Amino acid sequence: MAASTTGSSEMQCRRILFDQFNRIGIGICLRDDEGTFVLAKTIPISAMCSVSMGEDLALYYVMEWLSDMSFDNVDFTFDSKVIIDAFHRDRVDVTETSRIFSACRHLFTSHFTNSKVEFNSRQRNEVAHTLAGVATLSASLITYYIVPRCIEQLIINEML
């Protein structure tokens, strides 16, 4: 399935870290240019890493997922200004973070010709935040083709 070539899609992503369970939850929500739900995905990761590393991985996983599905015209929005700044910075070093962002930039430039990566305040990212919380309770990743109940009311409220 590919996004419309005439309109754009907005992808919201949020990463949550729960120390007590050693789990990271990544919540992804894809909407069309009118705000209508298209797809969602939750990704649980059973590993302990830094907050910034979890956010870096979230960017990579969402770009990988949408590039595998041949999406284009996507506005990637994150509620972390640090992630956005790091993605747009062209500094190269040998850290894991630099390698993740290098892979993200490669995915972005080779698969997303009419797309952008930008900051979005947490208030507008509540749907992805809720999905990230759900991800920490899941044993495996889940792709939602219809609006999951946990975000149904949030999406309705945002569209009013």
Asked whether the beta carbons of 24 and 141 are under 8 A apart, the reply is no
Give 9's strand partners.
32, 74
Q: How far is Cα 142 from Cα 87, in angstroms, rounded to an integer?
A: 26
To 10 degrees, the CA torsion angle through 40, 46, 48, 53? -30
Domain boundaries, the chain: 9-152
Which tens digit of pLDDT belongs to each residue from 111-160?
Answer: 998 899 988 775 567 888 899 889 988 889 999 999 999 999 999 888 87
Q: Does domain 9-152 have CATH number 3.10.180.10?
A: no
Which tens digit of pLDDT belongs to each residue from 43-87?
Answer: 998 777 776 788 888 899 999 999 999 998 899 988 888 889 989
Per-residue pLDDT band at 19 (split at 50, 70, 90): low
Q: How far is Cα 55 from Cα 77, in angstroms, rounded to an integer?
A: 12
3-state secondary structure of 57: helix
